[in-house]
């Protein structure tokens, strides 16, 4: 049996999405800028509407990019000047952290549950603060940040400060309405919502001036030069149209997985409280996540120990470290992330296998006394 539980890393492309893009490889393969390619350029504009609709934006506020990483780079570098200040969090995706490190940046703390320190946000706003960049949902733990509250705090102090949210893991999992939340910019990524890799978008509220990262042709109103990734864009549109389906089924299966693991494994603990529906990050204290993952893979179960972008790094996750987890907990953390394709049978199989693997590993673990104490 093969069980894919790493949907925060990437997702399977939906059959409906594949069907939608096929003609644009074989019949309608024209460059959308060519005069005769009316149908293709019209289709791109229809898709812009589909993407906008999912987050209740205006189509003119959507810029297609090569993915979440580029959208994040464009949001940050597109508005910030050298002497301006950014506020972000310690638990952002590396796309945000590595972009912000070249600027004067304050990194907000989270508590043991993964919740953001809103008081620190208020205290960190300076006269030259230009941008607040706070993710909507965390890719490792699934913890949801209170974007509405963040915006309220920031705009009360200075309405000129822009608020950007990396919503790559939130889109398709929670309802997003940019008119209600008044967020200024928002990034999303196709491959997290059953479209292919290499396509994403940035929402930018009308009226906000942005500097392009990629200069070139007139595409995307001069904000992103280069011939459009037509099939990627069309795939993203379809994926947005069918997003948000099966969310209650996914949540039920995630909760079942979580509860049964907690019952069967005495050293298991869930990391993060207020979370998106598909993610569970579980620490198996005193065990090594890489070894657990190898055992799971032997059983055909694919999960991860955190962000796919950080695989190979020997450091414990920066997200779990920011949550002040003990090293013996952070080092044994596994992320399971489900999708609409996850079945009950797969979850039952995973519960059975992980319980066996953890009991076996506990027996061989050198932290005998510590584990005994945990059991008591």
Q: Which residues bind to ligand PLP, rule: CB under 6 A?
A: 67-69, 93, 95, 135, 139, 166, 168-169, 189, 191, 200
Q: Is 309 a catalytic residue?
A: yes
Element (H, E) at 250: helix 247-264
Shortest gap between Cβ of 196 and ligand PLP (angstroms)? 11
Helix-helix angle 247-264:344-364, to 10 degrees: 30
Write the CA distances from 154 to 87, 109, 112, 129, 313, integer angstroms.
Answer: 10, 16, 24, 10, 35
Shortest gap between Cβ of 294 and ligand PLP (angstroms)? 22
Shortest gap between Cβ of 93 and ligand PLP (angstroms)? 4
3-state secondary structure of 185: strand
Q: What residue is closest to ligand PLP based on CB? A: 68
DSSP string, 54-122: HHT--GGGEEEESSHHHHHHHHHHTT--TT-EEEEETTS-HHHHHHHTTSEEEEE-B-TT--B-HHHHH
Identity of the residue, 7 or 219, whose beta carbon is nearer to ligand PLP in the bound complex = 7
> In the block, which residue shows the tokens 């910019």?
185
**Judging by beta carbons within 10 Å of its beta carbon (0-12, 13-18, 19+), is residue 263 exposed, middle or buried?**
exposed
Among 100, 265, 299, 309, the active-site one is 309
Identity of the residue, 69 or 317, whose beta carbon is nearer to ligand PLP in the bound complex = 69
Q: Which residues lie below 8 Å from residue 67, measured CB to CB, with a gap of 6+?
A: 189, 190, 191, 197, 198, 199, 200
Shortest gap between Cβ of 301 and ligand PLP (angstroms)? 20
Identity of the residue, 162 or 236, whose beta carbon is nearer to ligand PLP in the bound complex = 236
Q: Is the dihedral of CA 46, 47, 48, 50 positive or negative?
A: positive
Identity of the residue, 188 or 292, whose beta carbon is nearer to ligand PLP in the bound complex = 188
Shortest gap between Cβ of 263 and ligand PLP (angstroms)? 29
Identity of the residue, 40 or 91, whose beta carbon is nearer to ligand PLP in the bound complex = 91
Catalytic sites, residue numbers: 309
């Amino acid at each position: 049996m093969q069980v894919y539980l790493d949907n925060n890393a990437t997702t399977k492309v939906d059959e409906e999405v594949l069907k939608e893009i096929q003609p644009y490889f074989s019949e309608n393969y024209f460059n959308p800028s060519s005069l005769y390619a009316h149908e293709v350029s019209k289709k791109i504009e229809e898709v812009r509407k589909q993407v906008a609709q999912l987050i209740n934006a205006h189509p003119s506020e959507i810029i297609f990019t090569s993915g979440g990483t580029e959208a994040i780079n464009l949001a940050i570098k597109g508005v910030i000047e050298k002497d301006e200040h950014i506020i972000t969090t310690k638990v952002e995706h590396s796309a945000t952290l590595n972009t912000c490190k070249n600027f004067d940046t304050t990194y907000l703390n989270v508590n043991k549950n993964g919740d953001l320190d809103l008081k620190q946000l208020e205290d960190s706003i300076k006269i030259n603060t230009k941008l607040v960049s706070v993710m909507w949902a965390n890719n490792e733990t699934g913890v949801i940040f209170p974007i509405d509250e963040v915006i309220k705090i920031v705009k009360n102090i200075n309405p000129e400060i822009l608020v950007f949210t990396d919503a790559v893991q939130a889109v398709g999992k929670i309802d997003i309405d940019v008119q209600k939340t008044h967020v200024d910019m928002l990034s999303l990524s196709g491959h997290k919502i059953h479209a292919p890799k290499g396509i994403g978008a940035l929402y930018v509220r009308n009226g906000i001036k942005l500097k392009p990262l990629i200069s070139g042709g007139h595409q995307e109103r001069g904000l992103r030069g280069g011939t459009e990734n037509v099939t990627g864009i069309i795939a993203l549109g379809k994926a947005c149209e069918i997003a948000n389906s099966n969310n209650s089924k996914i949540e039920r299966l995630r909760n079942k997985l979580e509860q049964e693991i907690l019952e069967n494994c005495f050293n298991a603990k869930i990391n993060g409280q207020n979370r998106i529906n598909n993610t569970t990050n579980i620490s198996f204290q005193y065990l090594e996540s890489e070894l657990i993952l190898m055992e799971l893979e032997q059983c055909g179960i694919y999960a991860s120990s955190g962000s796919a972008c950080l695989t190979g790094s020997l450091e414990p996750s920066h997200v779990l470290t920011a949550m002040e987890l003990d090293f013996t907990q952070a080092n044994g953390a596994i992320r399971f992330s489900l999708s609409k394709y996850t079945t009950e049978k797969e979850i039952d199989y995973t519960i059975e296998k992980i319980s066996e693997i953890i009991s076996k590993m506990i027996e061989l673990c050198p932290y005998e006394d510590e584990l005994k104490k945990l059991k008591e």
